Structure 1
Amino acid sequence: MGDVKTAEVVTNENCTVENEIGNKQIVNKEKLWTLNFFLLWQGQFVSAFGDVIYEIALGFWILEITGSKALMGTLMATSMIPRLIISPFAGVVVDRVDRKKLMVLMDLIRGIVVVFVGIAAIFHFVQIWMVFVAGIILGICGAFFNPSIMSALPDIVPKSKIIKANSALNMVYTGTNMAANPVGGILYSVLGAPLMFLFNGISYLFSSFTEVFIKVPKIKRDLKEVHFWDDLKQGFEFVWKFKSLRYFIFIGAILNFFANMAIVLFLPFFQETAGLGSVKYGFAMAVMSGGMFLGMILTSIVDIPYGKRALVFIVDLVAFCVLFSIVLFLNYYGMLAILAIGGFLNAIVNVFFGSTVQLTVPQEMRGKVSALMSTVLMGLAPLGIAFGGIIAEFISIKMIVLVSFAISTIVSVILGFNKDFKAFINFNPDKQVLEDIM
């Protein structure tokens, strides 16, 4: 790894970037909001909106049909398991093929599958197993799609705009959650799950269509020189040698396990608690997303000095865990306040980490590293989701949430004392090279 300096575009004999639009540079050194970035942004907006609608409909539909929190948790974990298994291999593929075509294909497949589920539900021949299969396919497609986005983003926006670009994309997810959650809760009570399934399928198809017009620079590699398994091995070796990144991935996997185990139970808690229900659940999730949206706005307009980012990161992470440990013990309006503040803090944590990874990982490694990170970070999440649903059959949901986030608080404090991790988050690409923090 001695020749790796920063995450700038690499150009050499085995890895060059082809400019798809001739002499005109794709990366605009002055602007973030180019046509390229806008097409990526609005496509994500449409499909993310549909995802929220689908998840709300799916969760309440399973509970309504089966009454089983364990089955609900298992189903929600289903789409994550195949994604985790194939993500390391998908990351290698992303670094070896046309990333734009891969994005288009994955959204097209997801659209067709979910439209089928919607039609099957409308005409009353949908079965639980069909939804499980659809979840598996969605997970596989996500394994290829997400690293494609993470890998392509630094190539279509200037390096100096990476944090703002990540904030803008994350605003898509948080903004759609803010808008779609209350809409989803209302739509479920008015229209029911089948039409909501269909809406999500159509949103994927629309996203696929708009992605056709995005111009993503190609990575031209001599694949005869770099075999698939060697490529995969290089990804593992890079992450293993990157000590601070490796440490965070391990800690992050633990945090994700407990967070997912707790948060998946918010939905059945609202369904079972008198005076709450699907509509109030939708508004509660919208409020949390609103807090995240404000956090994205802050990180998109305020430049926090590199040397202060680790401190902000840890304080925000610990505060988030403490607040969420008590959220279900409050009245509805108290919950809304905690969810808003927690969402705000979580947004800052996510933007700082994602942006640092994009600034430090070389271009020809981004797909592999992004996929490996996703695999390990989320590796325990399906177990957490399924386990949370199972133990909720026997233990109070409030107690599960309290203990989960109490443990997460302790783990977050431990992370804050790690010098390597603090050096990683504080990385300054204008003054440092990658070897300084590896």
Structure 2
Amino acid sequence: MKDTFAVFKKMNFTKVFLAAITSRLGTIVGMTAFTFYLLDRFSSQPFYATFTEMMYSAPTLLVFFLTGVVADRMDRQKVAYYSDFICAGLSIVLIGAIMTEFMPFVFLVLFLRSAVAKFFAPAEMSLVQGILDEEEYSTAAGLNQMVAGVFNLFATALGLGAYWALGVHGAIIGDAVTFLISAILIMSCTIHEEARLPNGSHRIKDLNFSFIFKEFKDGLLYILNHKLLMALIAGFFILGIVNGGLSVMPLYVLKYKLTPDDYEQWAVVLGIIFGVFMITGSILASIVAKKLKLYTCLSLGLGIAGIFLVASGLVPTVTWFLILTAFVALTIPLANIAIGGWLPSIVDRKMMGRVESWITPVMMISHTATLGIISIGFPKYFSISSLFYFCGAVLALVGILYYLILPKLSNDFDERKSVEKEQPAPVSL
């Protein structure tokens, strides 16, 4: 644990890490409060809650070809804090939209805020890659998993508590404040130019259509020529299906199957249990990841979590559902830490923004499609239990597939990297 927290001696990492937390908090609390507001206001129409999740994920498909290019060609530090500032302003606009009770306007503002927020992650991840050394990437991934566990522990409770105490408007004002804190933290960093501008300085006017298209194509070709990276990104498409389902399934299974009368209280309990076991799983996974190959951790984490997820659809009581959710939360970090520590070490620093910009839309295509299918088909055409069976089976199958193909691809990559290091630099005459 001492080695894990040693990265905080680097003040730039500490500030960027805290900024990522507050920026994420700026989305989660208000969105959670807004979801409870919709379930109360439109109780007989779960479509609205699902559509809200779609407005969070769908904008990725609109801006993904821009986010990576902007992160790789513009000042990554400025991209991150401008994204936060604009999201803070749109949060205030969202409050006005909710007051009108004109839902198309509300969803439009949600869509715009989400679109702007998508520029933050590629810039932030690229900054971290430039701030930390390669051997510290897994440590950073483990810390991110612990934070994810804390969010799962408190996000639902914070969102519901903010909704009860402050109303949906007060919760979204809280969003604006946390976005501002994140922007100020990023602005206060002193980051060397190589990390902020690894591809040199560019201006907004340089980003014309032909330039963006070329950069976008270069990112795609880089992935297609990198078999290990392509295999991981292809798996993200399948994981997007699971993420889409899990964004609404736990709340739906409580409200429409296990405990319809007091689902809100149980949702808080579920969030606490998931968070506690995710933090525990993150600590254990950080230890295990140092003893096993990363592809083994990834395969085991996905496969075991998938089995527990299938079992979650079979249980008839809240107690058993909470127990199985705890096991899912305990095993998922093993996969997340493996992939989070692996990607930065295999991607060229100059290409990180463009690679990251492909990962998100690949996931969001399947994520959004899954939410669309759920909004249309549930509960008329399929039950909530069948969603757990399907998502769990997908996770387990991806785990098996990775177990079969990743060892060879990883060895091939390591051999190629070793050969490249041994080659002498060209001599200029």
**TM-score of the alignment, normalized to the shorter chain, above 0.5:** yes
In the TM superposition, 1:229-268 aligns within 5 A as 229-268=213-252
Q: Among all aligned residue pairs of Structure 1 and Structure 2, give the percentage whose two residues are the same amino acid.
A: 19
**Of residues 310, 315, 331 in structure 1, which corresponds to 2:295?**
310
Q: Match of 2:255?
A: 271
Q: Match of 1:47?
A: 23
Report the TM-score when normalising by structure 2.
Answer: 0.85
**Of residues 94, 101, 106 in structure 1, which corresponds to 2:83?**
106
**Of residues 265, 269, 281 in structure 2, which corresponds to 1:283?**
269
Q: Match of 1:171?
A: 146
Q: 2: distance between equivalents of 1:188 and 1:227?
A: 45
Q: Match of 1:59?
A: 35
Q: Match of 1:193?
A: 168
Which amino acid is 1:144 matched to? F
In the alignment, structure 1 residue 404 sits paired with structure 2 residue 404: no
Q: Match of 1:18?
A: none
Q: 1: distance between equivalents of 2:181 and 2:277?
A: 28
Q: Match of 1:14?
A: none
Q: Match of 1:90?
A: 67
Question: Do 2:68 and 2:354's aligned partners in 1 also have CA atoms closer than 8 Å?
Answer: yes
Question: Do 1:261 and 1:387's aligned partners in 2 also have CA atoms closer than 8 Å?
Answer: no
Relative to structure 1, the CA distance from residue 68 to residue 385 in structure 2 (aligned partners, 3 Å threshold; closer, same or farther) is same
In the alignment, structure 1 residue 325 sits paired with structure 2 residue 301: no
In the alignment, structure 1 residue 390 sits paired with structure 2 residue 376: yes
Relative to structure 1, the CA distance from residue 339 to residue 60 in structure 2 (aligned partners, 3 Å threshold; closer, same or farther) is same
Q: 2: distance between equivalents of 1:61 and 1:184?
A: 10
In the alignment, structure 1 residue 212 sits paired with structure 2 residue 187: yes
TM-aligned CA deviation for residue 161 of structure 1 = 1.0
Q: Match of 1:7?
A: none
Q: Match of 1:162?
A: 137
Q: 2: distance between equivalents of 1:72 and 1:425?
A: 41
Determine which structure has the larger helix proportion and give its number. Answer: 2
Q: 2: distance between equivalents of 1:264 and 1:270?
A: 10
After superposing on structure 2, the runs of 4+ consecutive aligned residues of structure 1 that deviate more than 6 Å are 426-431
Q: Match of 1:74?
A: 51
Q: Match of 1:357?
A: 343
Q: 2: distance between equivalents of 1:73 and 1:285?
A: 19
Q: Match of 1:13?
A: none
Q: 2: distance between equivalents of 1:423 and 1:36?
A: 37
Relative to structure 1, the CA distance from residue 258 to residue 162 in structure 2 (aligned partners, 3 Å threshold; closer, same or farther) is closer
**Structure 2 gap ranges (5+):** 1-5, 422-429
Question: Do 1:48 and 1:172's aligned partners in 2 also have CA atoms closer than 8 Å?
Answer: no
Q: 2: distance between equivalents of 1:434 and 1:183?
A: 51
CA deviations 1:73-100 (Å, max 9, x no partner) are 1221123222123212220111011111
Relative to structure 1, the CA distance from residue 229 to residue 344 in structure 2 (aligned partners, 3 Å threshold; closer, same or farther) is same
Number of equivalent positions: 401
Q: 1: distance between equivalents of 2:115 and 2:141?
A: 23
1:221 is paired with a residue whose SS is coil
In the alignment, structure 1 residue 181 sits paired with structure 2 residue 156: yes
Question: Do 2:50 and 2:371's aligned partners in 1 also have CA atoms closer than 8 Å?
Answer: yes
In the TM superposition, 1:96-135 aligns within 5 A as 96-118=73-95, 121=98, 124-135=99-110
Question: Do 2:54 and 2:372's aligned partners in 1 also have CA atoms closer than 8 Å?
Answer: yes
Relative to structure 1, the CA distance from residue 222 to residue 60 in structure 2 (aligned partners, 3 Å threshold; closer, same or farther) is closer
1:68 is paired with a residue whose SS is coil
1:379 is paired with a residue whose SS is helix
Question: Do 2:150 and 2:276's aligned partners in 1 also have CA atoms closer than 8 Å?
Answer: yes
1:304 is paired with a residue whose SS is coil
TM-aligned CA deviation for residue 65 of structure 1 = 2.2
TM-aligned CA deviation for residue 300 of structure 1 = 4.3
Question: Do 1:52 and 1:184's aligned partners in 2 also have CA atoms closer than 8 Å?
Answer: yes
CA RMSD of aligned residues (A): 2.7
Q: Match of 1:33?
A: 9
Which amino acid is 2:124 matched to? I
Q: 2: distance between equivalents of 1:75 and 1:185?
A: 16
Q: 2: distance between equivalents of 1:380 and 1:231?
A: 24
TM-aligned CA deviation for residue 432 of structure 1 = 4.5
Question: Do 1:96 and 1:221's aligned partners in 2 also have CA atoms closer than 8 Å?
Answer: yes
**Structure 1 gap ranges (5+):** 1-29
Which amino acid is 1:104 matched to? Y
2:58 is paired with a residue whose SS is helix
TM-aligned CA deviation for residue 71 of structure 1 = 2.8
TM-aligned CA deviation for residue 118 of structure 1 = 3.2
Q: 2: distance between equivalents of 1:434 and 1:95?
A: 27
Which amino acid is 2:130 matched to? D
Relative to structure 1, the CA distance from residue 35 to residue 379 in structure 2 (aligned partners, 3 Å threshold; closer, same or farther) is same
Q: Match of 1:415?
A: 402
Segment of structure 1 superposing worse, 318-327 or 400-409: 400-409
Relative to structure 1, the CA distance from residue 52 to residue 230 in structure 2 (aligned partners, 3 Å threshold; closer, same or farther) is closer
Relative to structure 1, the CA distance from residue 426 to residue 154 in structure 2 (aligned partners, 3 Å threshold; closer, same or farther) is farther
Q: 2: distance between equivalents of 1:276 and 1:425?
A: 48
Segment of structure 1 superposing worse, 377-386 or 211-220: 211-220
Q: 2: distance between equivalents of 1:391 and 1:431?
A: 48
Question: Do 1:114 and 1:201's aligned partners in 2 also have CA atoms closer than 8 Å?
Answer: yes
Q: 1: distance between equivalents of 2:28 and 2:411?
A: 33
Question: Do 2:52 and 2:107's aligned partners in 1 also have CA atoms closer than 8 Å?
Answer: yes
